[in-house]
Amino acid sequence: GKNGVPVAENFQLEQSTIADTVQAGQVRVKTLYLSVDPYMRCRMNEDTGSDYLRPWQLSDVADGGGIGVVEESKHDNLAKGDFVTSFTWPWQTAAILDGNMLQKLVPQLVNGRLSYFLGAAGITGLTALLGIREKGHVAAGANQTMVVSGAAGACGSLAGQIGRLEGCSRVVGIAGTDEKCSILVQEMGFDAAINYKKGDVAKQLRELCPGGVDVYFDNVGGDISDTVISQMNQNSHIILCGQISQYNKDVPYPPPLPPDIEKIQKERNITRERFLVLNYMDKQEASVLQLCQWIQEGKLKVRETVVEGLENIGAAFQSMMNGGNIGKQIVSVSK
């Protein structure tokens, strides 16, 4: 349902078998990790609102970002024991896949933490880094203030740190609990964090960003974003990453701003352009290497919420959509 809130019971676990033989060009894989992401909520609608996302079909196997190990290969470039990933990995414990859809992974790049390739060194990290570089117009020495909403989530927690690494002089996060706010400041180097469920967000923003907001990494949309936009400076920039507050509603993407906020955006010449990381895949390799370097150097702190067992992926999805996790939500499938 377009306006429904997803629950664990929307998902069904089934026992099945896969083919005995691997055909030419195919590999048999054991699944290790699956990624659970907010964008997947759009795939539960008949119309995903995007031409690059196809809807999940009723009674078919769901899919998304995944990592596994090759157990048998009839593909020229993949061998038994290789670790591989795909953006369209089926939610199964094992599968036979077309080898051409898989990308080989180098565990050493992430100090052996393979799951990072679904988060900080994967599409999530790429979204944060390329969003900032392509839409944020961050310049070292420009004394810019960045605000990140959904700041304790998979993308937001990275975006704030990357904003600092790219040159922002002040980074303020917005999250939903005191624990999340504490982690952002004490562990991830944010200058300050606002619990939007407590107190006056607009007042706290004015106090924490006395010079206004130059860059806004928007993960949530809705009232929070309206509040931030109202305090943005002339010629500032919104990185339109996600609108999770709107995903359970039947609205276009990106959702239109209220008339008074749209007026502010136009009068102050604030850019708000749709950002799609898949449009920048020519920069993927260099960007992943940059993310891995920051991870190895300890400059990029990574948080994961790992749920054990494929049977628990529905509950993990429900928790993620309710904002219950800190950092990347991962399901560990095989031990």
Task: State the pLDDT at residue 225.
Answer: 95
The string of pLDDT tens digits covering residues 145-155 is: 999 999 998 89
Predicted confidence (pLDDT) at residue 248 exceeds the cutoff of 90:
no
What would the mean pLDDT of 245-270 be, rounded to a whole number? Answer: 78
pLDDT of residue 335 exceeding 80 = no
The residue that leads in pLDDT, 5 or 105, is 105
Per-residue b/e over 78-107, b at no fewer than 16 CB within 10 Å?
A: beeebbbbbeebbbbbbbbbebeebeebee
167-211 per-position pLDDT tens digit: 999 999 999 999 999 999 999 999 999 999 998 999 999 999 999
Can you give the pTM of this predicted structure? 0.89
State the pLDDT confidence band at 323, using cuts at 50, 70 and 90: confident
Would you identify the CATH topology of the domain 8-119+302-332? Quinone Oxidoreductase; Chain A, domain 1 (3.90.180)
226-242 tens-digit pLDDT? 999 999 999 999 999 87
Top-level class of domain 141-278: alpha beta
| Domain residue spans of the chain | 8-119+302-332, 141-278
> Which pLDDT value is given to residue 38?
82
57-99 tens-digit pLDDT: 999 999 999 999 999 999 999 999 999 999 999 999 999 999 9
